[in-house]
A and B are shown apart, each in its own frame.
Chain A
Amino acid sequence: MSELEKNTNAPENQEKEQFSLNDDRRVKTLSPGALVVRRFIRNRVAVTGTIILIAMFLFSFVGGLITPYREDQLFYRTTQQNKQYAAVKENTEFRYVTATKDSFPSVAQAKFVIARKTGKTSFEGKKGTTYTYEEIGEDFCVIYEDGKEDPVAFATYDTVSSVTSDGEVAFDLQCEILQAIAVGEDSFTLDGVEYTVAEDGSIYKGTEEVAYASRFIVQAIMSDVFLTRTFKEELVTSIQDGNMDFVFTDEDGTEASYTVTYDAASKSYAVLQTVETKVFDTYSAPSKEHWLGTDRNGMDMLTRLMYGGRVSLYIGFIVVIIETVLGVILGGLAGYCGGWVDNLIMRIVDVFYCIPSMPLIIILGAAMDAMRIDPQIRMFYLMLILGFLGWPGVARLVRGQILSLREQEFMTAAEATGVRASRRIFRHLIPNVIPQLIVTMTMSLGSTIITEATLSFLGLGVKFPFASWGNIINDVNDTYVLTNFWFIWIPAGICLLATVLAFNLVGDGLRDAFDPKMKR
């Protein structure tokens, strides 16, 4: 008061005034906004929160633009994969080849084996058919049926295959070839054509190779694979040499390596082809290309985090805006109008408070799942649902504030000075509600992000292909991932924690800054 007295009644003591610490010398006046900013900046914790938030915003909104990858871009890696390719079996039993017109049933085949073991040259098949056989070599017999001039079948250890993939070798020719091999002839003539049998089992018609004979049966596992003669031969040679690894270069020059394993039970060799295969690059550790590795779909984790942050922040803000707009309008109406309006709105609020929000959201989420709603539209629904469930808290707060403020003397004073009702509300009431409103808004930003993350984690919120921090963490649905791939859940967890914490810090800081009773 002393300086006021001086100002009002003492222009004469000019000299004294020079040394006085008058208010106008001492304090620089600041605009109300600047005061709030100043008080906020002085709050170290709040500034830390703001910096975290700015970093999060940059990370989410600018980061998404900078990153070279798309949100849902899939990455692949190549791996060596062993594929069942072929099976090789050395023939140690007679195989029977029957002439096209005739039949040599399995009963007869068995009888033949017995006859051969007992040294008989003829045996009886079914229905009294009598067969005779002529043993041409150790492992080649030609079988005749009584009354027929031409052989009906032959039994052999070797097989004759055509050199072309779809070619067939005629019965007669097979028979001649095997006979030639069995007696050790170099050439034979069939139907006036001269054939030559080479050392390695190839049969030439003139100079053209038509077929080959081999004791090994090499069969492809896959029906679409044709095994070339060279491949078969080299494979067989390799097996005979005892090599279990086999490299083959085909006519196109493509090199492939094969592993051969021997299966004693079936007395056969399995050939595994080692192929380079492209697979989704899942759970790859952090690297130069993927700073935070990749997730279970083979998408870049850092990029997912950025886009997830976008979604989380978007949802947080929109939900809080919906909540606040509804809450302020309805709470303000209830508080200012009172009477039946107040009663009605507050009963609606009570009803909303009775709704268990989590089960409701889960049910709605499941319903949207069932309706196969597009993930993008689903996101909007999620915002609406969360917003509509959140406003009663805000409305209650605003109503309570307005009820208490309405009875304050300064409101009567404003009425007494004849200020319009709208002005009274917006200049006198609302500014006094704002601090509490801002605190709840920022706090509910944090909690909304948490709710969204929870829902997404449960698979009810934001859906693939959209990322959100919640559904990123959802990747950790087994202990194996939890313990082995830290980069899946730790970064998302940190983002979530930092953002929510920062919102709460900023909320507290703002409340203090808006409070004029705080020290300047």
Chain B
Amino acid sequence: MMTEKKTMQIGAQTVPVTYDPQYILMVNNLKKYFPIKGGMMNRVVGQVKAVDGVTFNLKRGTTMGLVGESGCGKTTAGRTILRLNGGKTDGQVLFDGQEIYDLSDKELRTLRTKMQIIFQDPFSSLSPRLPIGEIIGEAVREHNLVSKAEYTDYLDRVMDECGLQPFHKTRYPHEFSGGQRQRICIARALALNPEFVVCDEPVSALDVSIQAQIINLLKNLQEQRQLSYLFISHDLSVVEHISDSVGVMYLGNLVEYGDKKDIFAHPLHPYTKALFSAIPIPDPKARMNRIVLEGSIPSPANPPTGCKFHTRCKYCTKRCKSETPVQKEIEPGHYVVCHNYE
């Protein structure tokens, strides 16, 4: 799958990758640190390493699930990829071979039609004072994606695809339920006819029956439009359902990354193993073999040295504490960041 992967290092200087057309998105050693201000005169006293070296590639028309516990940097990674968090700290984000952090504001605005985001909270992500038609169609008009004559039809079609009625256009977000709102968010993203959508926990605010509807809607749309998704979630069963490949994040690092089948069948990284052991099995007779992790996730402002997981890892060695592991391809397309697989 990734032939040139061996050249990539985590923690070290970013080695530029070359564009491979089969991938719509190539993320190479992406880092995003947030400054901590404090003390006298608002000095920068530290950094939160929210994303500290994330490397993965996303094939066209596929879905990559990004999982991890709360606060591990999934959402920041998703937003940094779309350049919604201001600048990046280090690394590369190649969208269709184009480094998006090199674009001017104007070029970026044009490119935004190709990459979209669906937010976790459908309540705060819709402007309360704009009618739905305006929310969905605003950017369509802004980018002149369709002619004025076709605009209404186009809008109706997009809304129909997302399960919304034409008469919803004049309504306001508060008049909709959570599921409908999430459809509106999806319609807003899809109205621009994107190629790549970051789905930032799109179903975590919804109840299970509606989750299924939204997931199915996303899958249907993917089939119709050949979309590529970066599906951020902490819900492993949802990720298993929708993803083609899966990345596991821990404290800003992508610790394991590979095909869904490989990851779910035989997870390699100790953290992934612990995480996947927590998936409930819908069978009362099945014996759960849970791996319970000790302690809690360390602060991203002051991450442990060496392997960031060593504080909670039962296979921890002396080397883990001092040396930062690099990403290694254990089997084709299955990468892991751990000293135990050398």
Assess the B210–A418 pair: CB atoms within 8 A: no
Bitwise interface map of A from 368 to 411 toward B, beta carbon under 8 Å scored 1, else 0:
00000000000000000000000000000000000000001110
Distance (whole angstroms) from the CB of A387 to the closest CB of chain B: 28
Docked-complex contact B177 and A29, CB < 8 angstroms:
no
Collect the chain B residues with CB atoms within 8 Å of residue A410's CB. 124-128
A431 touches B (CB below 8 Å): yes
Residue in contact with A416 in the complex, picked from B82, B131, B174, B179, CB distance below 8 Å: B82
One of A47-55, A189-197, A420-428 at the interface? A420-428
- Are B192 and A417 within 8 A (Cβ)? yes
A418 and B126 form a contact (CB under 8 A): no
Q: Is B305 an interface residue (CB 8 A)?
A: no
Interface pair A432/B121, CB less than 8 Å apart: no
User: How many Å lie between the Cα of A117 and that of B121 in the bound state?
Assistant: 129
Q: Which of B82, B109, B121 has the most CB of A within 10 A?
A: B109
Q: In the complex, which residues of chain A have a beta carbon less than 8 angstroms from the beta carbon of B126?
A: 410, 413
Total interface residues on A, CB under 8 Å, equals: 31
Could you tell me the distance between the alpha carbons of A4 and B127 in the complex, rounded to whole angstroms? Answer: 22
User: B170 and A32: CB pair below 8 A?
Assistant: yes
Contact of A417 among B139, B163, B174 (CB under 8 A): B139
Nearest neighbor of A30 in chain B, beta-carbon distance: B170
Q: A434 contacts which chain B residues (CB < 8 A)? A: 129
For A5, list chain B residues within 8 Å (CB).
213
- CA distance in complex: A1, B185 (Å): 16
Partner of A412, one of B110, B119, B213: B119
- Size of B's binding interface in residues, CB under 8 A: 45
Contacting residues, chain A, for B116 (C-beta < 8 A)? 416-417
Given contacts A23-B165, A418-B143, are A428 and B127 in contact (CB under 8 A)?
Answer: yes
A-chain residues with CB within 8 Å of residue B111 when the two chains form the complex = 418
List A contacts of B164 (CB < 8 A). 4
* Interface residue A517 (Cβ < 8 Å from any Cβ of B): yes
| B146 CB, min distance to chain A CBs, angstroms | 15
Q: Is B142's CB under 8 angstroms from A32's CB?
A: no
CB proximity to B under 8 Å, residues A2-57: 4-5, 7-8, 23-24, 29-32
Interface string of B126-164 (1 = CB under 8 A from A): 111111001000110011000000000000000000011
Given A410-B124, A413-B125, A418-B139 contact (CB < 8 Å)? yes
Query: Which residues of the other chain, B, contact A517 by a CB distance below 8 angstroms?
Result: 128, 174
B172 within 8 A of A: yes
In the complex, whether A516 has a CB less than 8 A from a CB of chain B is yes
> B188 contacts the other chain (Cβ, under 8 Å)?
yes
CB distance from A182 to the nearest CB of B (A): 114
Within 8 Å by CB of A29, from B143, B171, B174, B192, lies B171
Please judge, given known A-B contacts A8-B163, A30-B170, A31-B170, whether A417 and B138 are in contact too, CB under 8 Å: yes
CA distance A24 to B189 in the complex (A): 25
Cross-interface CB contact of B124 among A8, A32, A408, A414, cutoff 8 Å: A408
Q: How far is the CB of A474 from chain B (nearest CB, A)?
A: 45
Q: A279 interface residue, CB < 8 Å from B?
A: no
Give the chain B neighbours of A432 by CB distance below 8 A.
Answer: 127-129
Contact B180 A416 (CB under 8 A): no
How far is B129's CA from A408's CA once the two chains are assembled, in angstroms?
A: 13
A28 → chain B closest CB, angstroms: 10
A29 contacts B129, CB within 8 Å?
Answer: no
In whole angstroms, what is the CA distance A516 to B171 when docked?
Answer: 10
In the complex, chain B residues whose CB is within 8 Å of the CB of A4: 163-165, 179-180
A463-520 with Cβ < 8 A to chain B: 516-517
B255 at the interface (CB under 8 A from A): no
Does B119 contact A29, Cβ atoms closer than 8 Å?
no
Q: Assuming A1-B179, A418-B110, A419-B139, is B188 touching A428 (CB within 8 A)?
A: no
| B19-33 interface code vs A (CB 8 A; 1 in, 0 out) | 000000000000000
Is A245 in contact with chain B by the CB < 8 A criterion? no
Instruction: Judge if B315 is at the interface, Cβ distance under 8 Å.
Output: no
Does any Cβ of B come within 8 Å of A415's Cβ?
yes
Q: B113: which A residues are within 8 A, CB to CB?
A: 417-418
Whether A418 contacts B125 by the Cβ 8 Å rule is no
The answer to the question of B108 belonging to the interface, with a C-beta cut-off of 8 Å to chain A, is yes
Query: Across the interface, do B127 and A414 meet the contact criterion of CB distance under 8 Å?
Result: yes
Known contacts A516-B172, A517-B174; is A416 also within 8 Å of B112 by CB?
yes
Q: A408 vs B171: C-alpha distance in the bound complex, in angstroms?
A: 20
B188 in contact with A417 (CB, 8 Å): yes
Bound form: Cα–Cα A434–B134 in Å: 18
- Give the distance in Å from the alpha carbon of A24 to the alpha carbon of B175 in the complex: 14
- Which residues of B in the span 65-97 have a Cβ within 8 Å of any Cβ on A? 79, 82, 84
* A7 surroundings in chain B (CB, below 8 A): 163, 165
Contact of B138 among A31, A416, A427, A516 (CB under 8 A): A427
A416-B165 CB under 8 A given contacts A31-B170, A409-B125, A432-B128? no
Q: List chain A residues, Cβ under 8 A from B171.
A: 29
Question: B227 on the interface (CB 8 Å rule)?
Answer: no
Whether A418 and B167, one on each chain, are in contact in the complex, defined by CB atoms closer than 8 angstroms, is no
Inter-chain contacts of B79 with A (CB < 8 A): 412
Q: Which of B235-285 contact A (CB under 8 A)?
A: none
Structural contact, A427 and B165, CB atoms closer than 8 A: no
Contact B163 A431 (CB under 8 A): no
Q: Are A418 and B108 in contact (CB under 8 A)?
A: yes
Q: Are A409 and B124 in contact (CB under 8 A)?
A: yes
State in angstroms the CA–CA spacing of A460 and B20 once bound together. 78
**CB pair B142 A409 closer than 8 Å:** no
For A29, list chain B residues within 8 Å (CB): 167, 170-171
Which listed residue (A31, A420, A516) contacts B142, Cβ 8 A?
Answer: A420
**Nearest chain B CB to A429 CB, angstrom units:** 9
- Which A residues touch B167, using CB under 8 A? 23-24, 29
Q: Are B142 and A417 neighbours in the complex by a CB distance under 8 Å?
A: yes
Is B117 interfacial (CB 8 A cutoff)?
A: yes
Q: Cβ of A32 and Cβ of B165 under 8 Å apart? A: no
In the bound complex, residues from chain B placing their C-beta under 8 Å from that of A408 are: 124
Measured between C-beta atoms, what is the minimum distance from B29 to chain A in Å?
A: 24
CA distance A410 to B84 in the complex (A): 12
CA A409 – CA B202 in complex, angstroms? 13
Provide the bound-state CA to CA distance between A7 and B139, in Å. 26
Closest to B179 in A: A1
B60 to chain A, nearest CB (A): 21
Q: Which residues of A contact B163 (CB under 8 A)?
A: 4, 7-8
Chain A residues whose C-beta falls within 8 Å of the C-beta of B124 in the assembled complex: 408-410
Give chain A residues whose Cβ lies under 8 Å from the Cβ of B109: 418, 420
Chain B: CB-nearest residue to A411: B127
Give the residues from 183 to 235 in chain A that come closer than 8 angstroms, CB to CB, to chain B.
Answer: none
Contacts of B128 in A (CB 8 A): 410, 432, 516-517
Do residues B129 and A516 form an inter-chain contact, with CB atoms below 8 A?
yes
Q: For the complex, what is the distance from the CA of A198 to the CA of B77, rounded to whole Å? A: 134
8 Å CB contact of A516 from B121, B134, B168, B174 = B174
Q: Assess whether A413 is in contact with B138, with CB atoms less than 8 Å apart.
A: no
Closest B residue to A420 by CB, please name it: B142
Cβ of A1 and Cβ of B180 under 8 Å apart?
A: yes
In the assembled complex, the Cα of A1 lies from the Cα of B210 at a distance in Å of: 9
B124: nearest chain-A partner, CB-CB:
A409
Q: Which of B129, B142, B179, B188 contacts A413 (CB 8 A)?
A: B188
Determine the distance from Cα of A407 to Cα of B222 in the docked complex, in whole angstroms.
Answer: 30
Q: Distance in Å from the Cβ of A37 to the closest Cβ of chain B? A: 15
Contact A417 B112, CB 8 Å, known A32-B170, A516-B174: yes
Of the A-B pairs whose beta carbons lie under 8 Å apart in the complex, a sample of 9, sorted by A's number, is A1-B180, A409-B125, A410-B125, A410-B127, A417-B188, A418-B192, A428-B127, A432-B128, A432-B129
Additional pairs, 14, CB under 8 Å, beyond known A4-B179, A427-B134, A431-B127? A1-B177, A1-B210, A4-B180, A32-B172, A412-B119, A413-B185, A414-B138, A418-B139, A419-B142, A420-B142, A423-B138, A427-B138, A434-B129, A516-B172
Q: Which 3 A-B pairs have the closest CB atoms?
A: A418-B112, A417-B139, A409-B125
